[in-house]
Amino acid sequence: MAKRLPPLNPLRAFEAAARHGSLTKAAVELNVTHGAVSHQIRALEASLQVRLFERAGQRLRLTGHGAELLPAVTSAFEGIAAATARMTRPTTSGSLRVTCVPALLSLWLIPRIGSFLARYPDIRLKLDASNDPANIRSPDVDIAILYGDGSWTDCWLRLWTRLDLFPVVSPTLINNRPIRTIRDLGEHVMLHADDGREWHTWLTAADALDLNPERQLHLSDARLAIEAALHGHGVALGDTMTAASLLAKGQLVAPFNLAVPAVDDFYVACRKNVRATPIVGVFIDWLFASLEEDNARAEPQIAARRTVRRPAEPAPRRTRRSAKLQRDNST
């Protein structure tokens, strides 16, 4: 005998209200009245004979029963959306626009993109250098690869990788002006790719906050800071993703064995209704598979050059948010 399921419309009302924490916002999304959403939720509660929501001021808060039901309902609707998308767009062909953090695009993605193009020759791929979170909701962008804190909402979001930061310098510069101790950094130009937070994090771990570098040069992003380091203009902070191949080739050198967690992380994001389309799915799958291949190889050349050591006390932000960052943000 088939198991009796709750009616579809009340489940849709419940899922939307739970996601927004608001009957009004759920009503706008479903294009019905506030009263209609309230009626559907009451009908579902009557059918299940449990309470699903409690009011907390102007917002709704899930009860224990509601919290238990929501993941199953969300997964079911996403499965229906994915199946519908596969039927309406069953092939992996057409245009795909991806925006990506400039340094990651230049130093990691472009060197590997050939394998994707060879596997999916019917996809017309456009890559743009950008780290603007507004790309997530742009109708002209399919996928955004971002560096940030992962706080973006109302989108499909998944942590791609965390980073370690460490100083890097050109072999020519370090041969002409040796860097034997951390204090020697003070005699070099410090290259910044942000407002100074990342160097502050590394210097804190190195117990060298009192270091006064000879000069400081601020650039708009990490790609430019790395390029400046390659040209011998100073010492930049490299990371375990974008500096890896340059270290392996000997174009950059890491003079110290101290690496610290980066201020932010890399994420992959897109609009929820786009995630289920095959053309987006194959790129995201390829992106994560390529990262796994890199991790499996473990870049033995780099390991020979640099031993990563984290500070004894990780940043509190990482500890508080570690559980959140391990899962997809699908609500």
Among residues 292, 284, 263, the alpha carbon closest in space to that of 194 is found at 263
Q: What burial letters (b/e) apply to 225-261, b meaning 16+ CB within 10 Å?
A: bbbbbbebbbbbbbbbbbbbbbbbeeebbbbbebbbb
pLDDT at 314: 40
pLDDT at 59: 80
- What topology does CATH give the domain 8-88? Arc Repressor Mutant, subunit A (1.10.10)
The conformational region for residue 179 under phi > 0 = left, psi -120 to 50 = alpha, else beta, is: beta
pLDDT digits (tens, 9 = 90+) for 269-302: 999 999 989 999 999 999 999 999 888 775 443 4
The amino acid sitting at 13 is A
State the distance between the two ends of the chain, measured CA to CA, in whole angstroms. 33
What is the distance, to the nearest Å, from the Cα of residue 221 to the centroid of all Cα atoms in its chain?
A: 17
Burial of 16 (0-12, 13-18, 19+ CB in 10 A): buried
The two three-digit tokens of residue 35, written as one number = 């009263």
**261 three-class SS:** strand
- Confirm or reject CATH 3.40.50.1100 for domain 164-261, answering yes or no: no
Q: Is the dihedral of CA 301, 181, 223, 242 positive or negative?
A: positive
Q: pTM of this prediction?
A: 0.64
* 14, 327, 243, 245 alpha-carbon torsion, rounded to 10°: -110
Whether 150 and 326 have beta carbons less than 8 Å apart is answered as no
What architecture is the 94-162+264-297 domain classified under in CATH? 3-Layer(aba) Sandwich (3.40)
- CATH 1.10.10.10 spans which residues of the chain? 8-88
Specify the DSSP class assigned to residue 242.
T
pLDDT at 87: 59
pLDDT digits (tens, 9 = 90+) for 3-16: 677 888 899 999 99
For each successive 10 residues of the chain (331 residues), what is the average pLDDT? 73 90 88 89 89 82 90 85 61 87 95 94 95 94 96 94 94 92 91 91 90 86 93 93 90 93 94 92 95 73 40 40 39 37
- CATH 3.40.190.10 spans which residues of the chain? 94-162+264-297, 164-261
DSSP per residue, 135-204: GGG-TT-SEEEEEE-S---SSEEEEEE--EEEEEB-HHHHHHS---SGGGGGGSEEEESSSSHHHHHHHH
pLDDT digits (tens, 9 = 90+) for 31-52: 899 889 889 999 988 888 899 9
pLDDT at 154: 87
* DSSP H or E run through 257: none
Among residues 153, 156, 119, the alpha carbon closest in space to that of 276 is found at 156
